Chain A
Amino acid sequence: MSDKILLSGNEAIARGAYEAGVHVATAYPGTPSTEILENIVRYKDVIYCEWAPNEKVAVEVAQGASFGGARALTAMKHVGVNVAADPMFSFAYTGVNGGFVLVSADDPGMHSSQNEQDNRRYAEFMKIPLLEPTDSQEAKDMVSAGMDISEKFNTPVMLRMSTRLCHSMGLVELGERKEFPVKEYVTDFKQRVVIPAHARVLHVKLEKRLMKLKDYAEKTPLNSIIEGDFEYDGKKIGIISSGISFQYARDAFPDARFLKLGMSFPFPIETCRRFAESVDELWVVEENEPFIENHLKKEGIACIGKEKVPLTNELSQSIVRQAFIGEKAEPNADTSDLPPRPPVLCPGCPHRGIFYVARKLGFTSTTDIGCYTLGMLPPLEVGETCICMGASIGNAFGMEKARGKDFGKNTLAFIGDSTFVHSGMTGLADIAYNKGNIAVVILDNSITAMTGHQQHPGTGITLMGEETTKLDYVKLAGALGIEYVFETDAFNLEQITDVLKKVKELDGPKLIVNRGRCILLDIKKMKITPFVVDPEKCSACGLCFKLGCPAISSGETTEKGRRKATISPIFCVGEACAMCEQICPTGAISQP
């Protein structure tokens, strides 16, 4: 039996932070990165860790910890790096005190994201070293390696993961924690205050540092050759790859000669040149952008990459095999006719009611990033734009500016509580300051739900499990100058209807705080008496189907071909929701 244990890439990063002597860890949750901090909290005796309100704050806190002399780590999904880019670019100029690693968890294939940006380009853009593990063991070990590089070269480091690394488990050999006591803090205005006069000097230093890092990248064992003698079309093949793509390529061509790039920026061009000279033909296997390929071609090294390997979507061993040698498995059956099984709002979801009413009353609406984005699916079809965290408010307000005050009065911006704290407060300030006429709806389910229930400043509990102050949305709106503020019970359709009707008549910026806890927070403790439909009373009007509740489906069909409803006793959450009971016009839905 192996003494190694099974860890996901995210668990391995958390363990790596522990072993690397990290003292401070910060993040905002985002798939596929969330479990990194959820696992670091297991080491809270030696690592202070927090959910920050957003990724920018997360970086700034970890950056401050580094300035203060501690080893610090921050983790986020790829689009979170967009939010955090500002402090990161300056950080490359100032350098660190304690080691600093930013984990970027990219999402090729967009399993749970709005784009598939390739953040390797960010490392190059920010001019910071880039490490790319290929499995859980390397993910753990590269946290230590990254911290060492960070302190040796006085630079922040990016460690780039992707969904299939974050959420794949592999065997990992654990090590002990190495203590790195918090370093001395010395005031250094010229190093850490990036006024232009200082920054001009720091930029020159940064370029010199990159030259040294480039030498390091040419020598580091993080970049390694795996011997092989695979030939194709009479030519000896060499493959350069990094990250999870390396595993796909290795699976597809197990006998090929490989150059695995564990440190891919500064780009080790001489190492690659020597490797290219050792083979007859060079293949490059990488997901999404031609990062390696462009570096090679810029320096005149011939290779085959994106002309064969797809640029979009994630890769796999079969895609790589097919790309280079055209082999593909024959399908066993045609399954294209099967009904899809898309994700849906859960039975008992508190978002469902206000979506139902908003649609009925004919509002235009924008939406944001979270479970509630699913409100755009039939039959609710609410939320006509979704761009990035917080964009619902600016989008709705901008529409008003294009189409006039009356259009604004009929427009709702839906945003979740966690997303509101992340990026919605500034948007709300804008509609107060610039005299908007829209209503912002905070869908307050008391948790960051989509990523699997993380606390945030609106919940009153910290990541480390301590009680703390709780953000008061109503007081906040008052302080910002929002004229009309309403609070609604997310499960009370009559109250929601009254408020939304009122909103249509009121001029000025408005906020509705629609409160209802995520049903999944409580469902295990609940004693549920499911609702049932009395087929005698059901008039087959179809109103309850418009809720889009997964517990409600078609029962018997009437003579006129209309469908009566039936409720699944397994999925229904009973009186905790009761929305279908409230809208049934014939009283056919009740609890036995």
Chain B
Amino acid sequence: MNNEVFSVFITGVGGQGILLASELLSEVARTAGKDVKKSEVHGMAQRGGSVVGHVRFGAKVASPLITDGEADVILAFEKLEALRHINALKPGGKIIVNEQEIAPAPVAAGLMEYPTDVWGRIVAVSSDAVKVEGAKLAKEAGSIRATNVVLLGALSAFLPFEEKIWHEAIKKRVPPKTIEINIKAFSFGRRAAGG
């Protein structure tokens, strides 16, 4: 039996909808018949801090964590967080970056600068990094709050799951009134990433 474990490392800032994204991905992998583990941290770490979600799936998954050099894909909701966690990326892995900058506290307070060359440093590690205009596409789909689903759409282009499984998972998980917007947002993201 092939026991390759596929690892998706999701990162961003508290409040961006990262936990929902990792939950949806886990549900899709489960529906596709995979063993799945997902890990995240609650509590102190949620108050505007860096947030990460680890999702791993395969025939049998042992550790719920993704450590350095193990991520097949990094999905970053914020540029600086993409760079912060870039060491998780496996050689030849794919990194998908939302085109958004959120100033961390030391930058907002004027104590440090938001680095100017973040994208360049990402591309230096992964030349085929994918940039997604999450907020813009979400607005086009009908609501900026669907940014996380746009990014899931982009992620889906690099995963072996059928689009209809994704749609089912989204329909089950988002408020009924927003299903249409979210399905649209998903498709926009998927297309933007070439899927």
Contacts and interface: CB of A to CB of B under 8 A. Distances in A.
Contacts of A170: 36-38, 61, 64
Interface size class of A (residues with CB under 8 A): 35 or more
Contact of B105 (A5, A247, A342, A451): A342
A345 B62 CA distance: 36
A332 B80 contact: no
Interface string A305-320: 0000000000011110
Contacts of A378: 109, 111
Interface in B1-37: 3, 13-14, 23, 26-27, 30-33, 35-37
A316 B86 contact: no
B107 A339 contact: yes
A338 interface: yes
A196 interface: no
A250 B62 contact: yes
Contacts of A346: 47-48
Interface in A134-178: 135, 163-164, 167-171
Interface string A182-199: 000000000000000000
B83 A335 contact: yes
Nearest to B29: A6
A557 to B, nearest CB: 9
A254 B61 CA distance: 11
B65 A548 contact: no
Contacts of A317: 62-63, 65, 67
A548 B109 contact: yes
Given A317-B67, A341-B105, A167 B41 contact: yes
B19 to A, nearest CB: 10
Contact of B87 (A171, A335, A342): A335
A53 interface: no
A451 B86 contact: no
Given A171-B35, A329-B68, A335 B47 contact: no
A550 B48 contact: yes
Contacts of A584: none
A451 B47 CA distance: 11
A51 interface: no
Interface size class of B (residues with CB under 8 A): 35 or more
B109 A553 contact: yes
Contact of B42 (A31, A135, A337): A31
Interface string A106-119: 00000110000000
A343 interface: yes
Nearest to B114: A339
A207 interface: no
A452 B43 CA distance: 7
B69 A330 contact: yes
A491 to B, nearest CB: 19
B68 A333 contact: no
A519 to B, nearest CB: 12
A111 B65 contact: no
Interface in A1-42: 1-2, 4-6, 31-32, 34-35
A550 to B, nearest CB: 6
A444 B105 CA distance: 25
B65 A316 contact: yes
B42 A167 contact: yes
Nearest to A165: B64
Interface string B96-116: 000000011111111111110
A194 to B, nearest CB: 36
Contacts of A5: 30
B57 to A, nearest CB: 10
Given A247-B62, A333-B83, A333-B121, A553 B108 contact: yes
Contact of B110 (A4, A333, A553): A553
12 contacts: A34-B42, A35-B42, A167-B40, A171-B36, A244-B64, A333-B125, A335-B86, A342-B106, A344-B48, A345-B47, A371-B47, A450-B43
Given A1-B33, A333-B86, 7 more contacts: A4-B30, A163-B41, A170-B37, A171-B30, A318-B69, A329-B69, A331-B68
The 5 closest A-B pairs by CB, nearest first: A329-B69, A112-B43, A31-B43, A553-B108, A343-B47
